[in-house]
């Protein structure tokens, strides 16, 4: 049975992205309820392609205590965009980044004594108090002080005058290998017992929280954006487009590069002004939602800037098609990722910034980018 019409805010664009902030906040509250403690929104990679600056403003305004990004450049972009709240840098601080991190008021992650020494030295020169979180490696073997050396590492960092405010690690196999999750948790609990209270401990990621429960503070990205099915979370982003051409095909007409679709005759075709340059995975988008919510088949190959779809009948150029849906159906991000054999957040981070983005809250525009 076809779905109902697509709800629209009045938009004078031929193609655009909508982000539902009410759904984002509902996801945050659901995750916070499961965590029983602080939830840190992870906004790295432009909030997994959803737009870090407007989401940071919204989440901090709504009461989140801090947000996290991966790189110094991402933190700088938030500060330049007017974000004044606490920003945690998850990527291990390089000594060359210490001065700018201090000037921007970012809270870096320390994984080496070299970075701690640089942070301390530049802080003294600038007359600032250096603050940081300490990363301990409990089994992922990317960054962090070895968990067995956490006590000596903490003492060495604090001896440099750095105020360590948080201690954390990262789960390597959440949702895949429960036994190793427990191994990492046990190691982290040993670290916590050795270091004592007085620090903000955070451990679980999205899948760690949802599939294994919380034992400390949590950092969420994938779940925050509703990209984990089965837990009551809602995807928050969709792409809409209006046709630039609607035509009727004659028998034998071929559509698109390679002419893969050959018309039987009489079909109606709409050209939508979005393509793989906008983040539609080439070869993975098989259908879109029409103005009445019905699924419409993509005809031929997706082009860089255009996608052609078959219609049950003619529509006006003002009609809006839902190219990417905020759901777990065949036009959602998870379906795109599955068809491409990849992860949903890989698809999400490659969504193009060239489409204007509207950030909606209960039907009103909270922010616009582009």
> What is the DSSP track for 132-159?
EEEEEESS--SSSEEGGGHHHHHHHHHH
Task: Give residue for tokens 């403003």.
Answer: 57
28 annotated active-site: no
Q: What is the pLDDT of residue 1?
A: 29
Q: State the SS3 of 5-58.
A: CCCCCCCCCCEEEEEEHHHHHHHHHHHHHHHCCCEEEECHHHHHCCCHHHHHHH
Judge if pTM exceeds 0.85: yes
pLDDT (tens digit per residue) in 345-364? 899 999 999 999 999 998 89
3-state secondary structure of 300: coil
257 annotated active-site: yes
What is d(CA 354, CA 98) in angstroms, rounded to the nearest whole number? 33
Q: What is the pLDDT of residue 20?
A: 97
Instruction: Indicate the domain borders of the chain.
Output: 21-220, 236-369
Could you tell me the pLDDT band of residue 2, with boundaries at 50, 70 and 90? very low
Q: What is the pLDDT of residue 359?
A: 97
Task: Check 44, 201, 261, 276 and give the catalytic one.
Answer: 44
- Pick 5 or 230 by higher pLDDT: 230
Could you tell me the pLDDT band of residue 7, with boundaries at 50, 70 and 90? low
Average pLDDT of the chain? Answer: 95
Q: What is the pLDDT of residue 5?
A: 57
Could you tell me the pLDDT band of residue 8, with boundaries at 50, 70 and 90? low
Q: How many percent of the chain have pLDDT more than 70?
A: 98
Q: Of all helices (H) and strands (E), which one includes residue 206?
A: helix 206-212
Residue 6 confidence (pLDDT) above 70: no
Residue 70 confidence (pLDDT) above 50: yes
Task: Give residue for tokens 């982000």.
Answer: 19
Second CATH level (architecture) for the domain 21-220? Alpha-Beta Barrel (3.20)
Residue 4 confidence (pLDDT) above 70: no
Cα–Cα separations (whole angstroms), residue 223 to 32, 40, 131, 283, 297: 11, 12, 28, 26, 29
Closest alpha carbon to 8 in 321, 285, 226:
321
CATH entry, 236-369, from 2.40.128.280, 2.40.37.10, 1.20.1740.10, 3.40.640.10: 2.40.37.10
What is d(CA 289, CA 294) in angstroms, rounded to the nearest whole number? 5
What is d(CA 45, CA 257) in angstroms, rounded to the nearest whole number? 32
Residue 49 CA to its chain's centroid (Å): 5
Could you tell me the pLDDT band of residue 265, with boundaries at 50, 70 and 90? very high
Q: What are phi and psi of 275, to 5 degrees?
A: -155, -160
Q: What is the pLDDT of residue 235?
A: 97
């Amino acid at each position: 049975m076809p779905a109902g019409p697509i709800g629209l805010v009045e938009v004078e664009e031929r193609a655009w992205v909508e982000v539902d902030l009410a759904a984002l906040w509902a996801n945050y509250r659901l995750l916070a309820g499961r965590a029983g403690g602080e939830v840190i929104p992870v906004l790295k990679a432009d909030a997994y392609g959803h737009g870090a600056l407007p989401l940071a403003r919204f989440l901090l305004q709504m009461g989140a205590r801090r947000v996290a990004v991966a790189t110094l450049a991402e933190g700088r972009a938030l500060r330049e965009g007017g974000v004044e709240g606490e920003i945690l840098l998850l990527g291990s601080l390089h000594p060359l980044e210490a001065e700018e991190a201090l000037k921007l008021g970012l809270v870096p992650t320390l994984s080496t004594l070299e970075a701690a020494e640089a942070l301390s030295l530049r802080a003294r020169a600038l007359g600032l108090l250096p603050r940081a979180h300490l990363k301990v490696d409990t089994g992922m073997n990317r960054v962090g002080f070895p968990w067995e050396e956490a006590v000596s590492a903490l003492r060495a960092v604090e001896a440099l005058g750095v105020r360590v405010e948080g201690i954390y690690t990262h789960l390597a196999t959440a949702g895949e290998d429960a036994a190793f999750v427990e191994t990492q948790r046990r190691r982290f609990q040993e670290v916590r017992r050795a270091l004592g209270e007085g620090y903000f401990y955070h451990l679980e990621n999205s899948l760690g929280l949802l599939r294994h429960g919380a034992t400390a503070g949590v950092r969420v990205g994938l779940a925050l954006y509703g990209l984990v099915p089965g837990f009551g979370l809602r995807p928050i982003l969709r792409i809409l487009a209006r046709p630039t051409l609607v035509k009727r095909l004659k028998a034998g007409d071929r559509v698109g590069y390679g002419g893969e679709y050959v018309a039987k005759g009489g079909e109606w075709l709409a050209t939508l002004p979005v393509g793989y340059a906008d983040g539609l995975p080439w070869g993975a988008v098989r259908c879109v939602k029409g103005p009445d919510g019905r699924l419409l088949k993509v005809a031929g190959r997706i082009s860089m800037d255009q996608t052609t779809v078959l219609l049950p009948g003619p529509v006006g150029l003002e009609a809006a098609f839902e190219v990417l849906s905020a759901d777990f159906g065949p036009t959602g991000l998870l379906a795109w990722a599955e068809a491409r054999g990849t992860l949903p957040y890989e698809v999400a981070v490659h969504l193009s910034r060239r489409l204007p983005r509207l950030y909606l809250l209960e039907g009103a525009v909270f922010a616009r980018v582009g």
